[in-house]
Amino acid sequence: MSFTMKRRDALLSGVAALVGVSLGARGSAQSSAVMPEPDVFIIGHVDHGKTTLAAAISSAYGADLSYPEINEASLADSPLTEYSRQKVGYSWDGASVSLLDFPGHADIIKSMIFGNVRPKGAILVVNVTDGPMPQTGHHLEIGNRVGIQNLVVFLNKTDMVNDDYPGGSVGFMESVERHIRELLSAYGYPGEETTIIAGSALDALEGRDPENGQAKINELLTAVQKEILQAPAADTGSDGTPKTTFDSELYMLTTGEGGRRRPFFREHRATFQFSSGAVVGTIRLSEGTEIVNPGDNPWVTITLDAPLSIGQFQRFVIVEEGMPIGAGVVSGF
């Protein structure tokens, strides 16, 4: 079997597990694995230090995976049903936790929307010398829409800040922190209350400056424990009444993953497979979006032809001619 076909089959079985339905012989080869440890995503702009942070945590409290070992994990040969290569396990304060460090921006987006992992929360990594960047906002925006409710922030690379920065090192870091709090609030997170820990993942990994390195990793893990792992279960705000219209974030499979060969435009008819049933309906693109290509993750409104009982953050599969072409998460009504 070709590599592409294997990957496609793995994706299809992932999709089936996602909504708890069988999509036929091709799609029901495996059931979703039971995850014994809570998963925490590491998100943030490229190069802000996600993998370095994962390696620092692993070296102190996990299996001591090196930066290259973590970094080489790639979704290219690791289907969405099998996160083991992205998982960096660690133990802290009696808890065993899996960190999920994804190789790139697209993998983070795909995993948030499409993955059958339901993260307990996320660590947002921000390089202090850059401050929030476009992908920082994008991850927060999608995280909020797909139900990642508990976040802590690691403000990284503080070893690079000195008094030549505008406002001096303290003033500069405070201004970046303010900016992050505003961004969190803009995307629906409690920006004023969110824990932000400033330090250096690289100092921790390389055993330098323990006050700015290892001590900050410890503070971060304490915050993850309290604010993510021990956070009360979220109220998803669904009253269970049948709905016909909802907003959703989608991930469309690429052609290689078995998705469509062509784009679609402003309105598109498809079948939406939920655990509670399958209904035909119409995808309408949001203002400013004219085209959806395979591999895109558009923000859309879906109108079903018949009402169905669905809840916020529920997942579904988009089916065309009997085959899944994408998946989505209900963001709101």
Q: List interacting residues with ligand GDP (CB under 6 A).
A: 44, 46-52, 156-157, 159-160, 200-202
Q: Which pair of tokens denotes residue 300?
A: 């859309």
End-to-end CA distance of the chain: 42
Let me know: does 195 contact 227? Beta carbons within 8 Å: yes
For residue 159, give the amino acid letter.
D
Closer residue to ligand GDP, CB minimum distance, 160 or 291 = 160
Binding residue (CB under 5 A) for Mg ion from 18, 23, 44, 51:
51
d(CA 116, CA 146): 12
Residue 203, helix vs strand vs coil: helix
Which C-beta is closer to ligand GDP: that of 123 or that of 330? 123
CA nearest 300: which of 260, 252, 247, 244?
247
- Token pair, residue 127, equals 């390089």
Residues 29-48 touching Mg ion, rule: CB under 5 A, are none
Output the smallest distance, CB 232 to Mg ion, in A.
31
Tokens representing 129? 């010398």
Amino acid at 17: A
157 binds, among Mg ion, ligand GDP, none (CB under 5 to 8 A by kind): ligand GDP
Q: Quick one: 117 or 325, whose CB is closer to Mg ion? A: 117
What's the min distance (Å) between Cβ of 63 and ligand GDP?
A: 18
Q: Cβ of residue 122: shortest distance to ligand GDP, in angstroms?
A: 13
By a kind-dependent CB cut-off of 5 to 8 A, residue 48 interacts, out of Mg ion, ligand GDP, none, with ligand GDP
Residue 7 in contact with residue 256, Cβ under 8 Å?
Answer: yes
Q: Check residue 144 for interaction with Mg ion (CB under 5 A).
A: no
The contact pattern for Mg ion, residues 96-125, with x = CB under 5 A and - = no contact, is: ------------------------------
Task: Indicate which of ligand GDP, Mg ion, none lies near residue 200 (CB less than 5 to 8 Å, by partner kind).
Answer: ligand GDP
Give min distance, CB of 129 to ligand GDP, in A: 8
CA distance 55 to 64: 7
DSSP 3-state of 179 = helix
The item of Mg ion, ligand GDP, none sharing an interface with residue 7, based on CB under 5 to 8 Å by kind, is: none
Report how far Cα 138 is from the mean position of its chain's Cα atoms: 10
User: Please, which residue, 51 or 331, has the CB nearer to ligand GDP?
Assistant: 51
Least distance (Å) from Mg ion to the CB of residue 67? 9
Query: Which C-beta is closer to Mg ion: that of 84 or that of 275?
Result: 84
Binding map of Mg ion across residues 207-226, x = CB under 5 A, - = no contact:
--------------------
| Residue nearer to Mg ion on the CB measure, 88 or 176 | 88
Place of tokens 């039971």: 34
Q: How far is the CB of 159 from ligand GDP (least distance, A)?
A: 5
DSSP line for 238-307: ----EEEEEEEEEEEPPGGGT--SS-B-SEEEEEEEETTEEEEEEEEEPTT---B-TT---EEEEEEEEE
Residues at the site binding Mg ion, with contacts judged by CB under 5 A: 50-51
